[in-house]
């Protein structure tokens, strides 16, 4: 029965406001993180601004006990999955109070208690890991779901294709979610991906492949809801291609106008996922301007609290250097 397995089956007021709060929090967090990077307090940061609707629409259907695996650009995945902002910001700044005790940084944030099994700087590498996680859920007979986010740049890698094949023959509870932001660093999608479609590749592995407007929270929410329902019901994997856009450069020092046009950027800014969700909420009279402004303010406050927490936290002690190299897992 549709919706039976979903944490939030209806896109009602509660879900819309939860999603709006997550998306605004992601954007404010990323803006703060960029300021910290520009001030030299962290390195190697990849901003997810513009792509907030994708993990939010997916994670709206997940429980803490479900699993998410991310990429080098994963702050939005972590926040959508409910990882603590204070611990995330502390991790970015390399502090002992961070999610990984300050030893992982922006590209390795993980919080097992929240089912966030890790960001990962190696493109495509988390896809087979997520497939193994789904295999574990299946073998244990649980109804947990594994979700892996990856970019268009990973969509032609063998790791994705081997994983989709295994997920299909073993009927695994996994969502392969491609955030197609049209570029892998400076390489355009049209140049590097044959067939002009990521979702179309699902046909080769006998699973549903769906393309959605990744700048529309309701569209992502609907596609993910069906995919999560299928996974929990034992109906197997789904590939979702969410078409989205990163507003900033690939990383801090990258100027994207070297490889894309102002017109193209304006096109996507005019379809901003937060602006559109705000309009959707107001037009549907799900909430008032005042209620949304309260959410805006509390998102700013939460990020300011996080940066204060991170700034006031200590760096790890020297004798922490060789701890946590191996982790025993019960």
* Contacting positions for Mg ion (CB under 5 A): 151-153, 181, 184
Tell me, residue by residue from 60 to 99, as one string, x for binding to ligand TPP by CB under 6 A and - for no binding. -----------xxx--------------------------
* Contact by Cβ (8 Å): 248, 49: yes
- Residue 96 · residue 175 · CB < 8 Å: no
196: left (phi over 0), alpha (psi -120 to 50) or beta: left
Quick note: the x/- pattern for ligand TPP over 187-226, rule CB under 6 A, is ----------------------------------------
**What is the number of the residue whose Cβ is closest to ligand TPP?**
151
106: contact with ligand TPP by CB under 6 A = no
> With respect to Mg ion, which residue has the nearer C-beta, 101 or 260?
260
Beta bridge pairs of residue 267: none
Is 241 a binder of ligand TPP (CB under 6 A)? no
Q: What is the DSSP string of 168-202?
A: HHTT--EEEEEEE-SEETTEEHHHHSGGG-SGGGG
Choose which of 126, 144, 146, 181 interacts with ligand TPP (CB under 6 A).
181
Q: Which two tokens stand for residue 131?
A: 């497939």
| Binding site partner of 121, from Mg ion, ligand TPP, none, Cβ cut-off 5-8 A by kind | ligand TPP
55 in contact with ligand TPP (CB under 6 A): no
Q: How many whole angstroms separate alpha carbon 63 and alpha carbon 144? A: 8
Q: Which residue's CB is nearer to ligand TPP, number 11 or number 220?
A: 220
Which tokens sit at 24? Answer: 């605004």
Number of neighbouring beta carbons within 10 Å of residue 250? 20
**Interface with ligand TPP (CB under 6 A), residue from 83, 88, 129, 184:** 184
| Rg of the chain taking only CA atoms, in angstroms | 19
Binding site for ligand TPP (CB under 6 A): 71-73, 121-123, 151-154, 181, 183-185, 250
């Amino acid at each position: 029965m549709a919706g039976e397995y979903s944490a939030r089956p209806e896109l009602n007021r509660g879900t819309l406001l939860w999603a709006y709060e997550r998306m605004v929090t992601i954007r404010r967090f990323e803006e703060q993180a960029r300021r910290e990077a520009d001030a030299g307090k962290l390195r190697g940061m990849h901003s997810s601004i513009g792509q907030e609707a994708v993990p939010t629409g997916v994670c709206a259907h997940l429980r803490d006990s479900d699993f998410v695996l991310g990429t080098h650009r994963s702050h939005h995945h972590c926040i959508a999955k409910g990882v603590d902002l204070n611990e995330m910001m502390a991790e970015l700044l390399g502090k002992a109070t961070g999610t990984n005790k300050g030893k992982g940084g922006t590209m390795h944030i993980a919080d097992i208690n929240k089912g966030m099994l890790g960001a990962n700087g190696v493109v495509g590498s988390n896809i087979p890991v997520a497939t193994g996680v789904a295999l574990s859920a299946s073998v244990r007979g649980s109804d947990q779901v594994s979700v892996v986010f990856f970019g268009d740049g990973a969509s032609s890698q063998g790791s994705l294709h081997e994983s989709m094949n295994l997920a299909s023959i073993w009927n695994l509870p996994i969502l392969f979610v491609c955030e197609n932001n049209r570029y892998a660093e400076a390489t355009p999608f049209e140049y590097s991906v044959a067939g002009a479609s990521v979702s179309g590749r699902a046909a080769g592995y006998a699973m549903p492949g769906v393309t959605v407007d990744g700048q529309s929270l309701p569209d992502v929410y609907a596609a993910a809801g069906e995919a999560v329902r299928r996974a929990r019901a034992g109906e197997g994997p789904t590939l979702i291609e969410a078409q989205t856009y990163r507003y900033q450069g690939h990383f801090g020092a990258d100027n994207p106008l070297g490889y894309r046009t102002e017109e193209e950027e304006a096109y996507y800014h005019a379809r901003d996922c937060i602006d559109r969700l705000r309009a959707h909420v107001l037009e549907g009279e799900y909430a008032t301007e005042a209620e949304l402004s309260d959410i805006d303010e509390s998102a700013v406050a939460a990020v300011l609290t996080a940066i204060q927490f991170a700034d006031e936290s200590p760096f790890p002690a020297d004798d922490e250097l060789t701890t946590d190299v191996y982790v025993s897992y019960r």
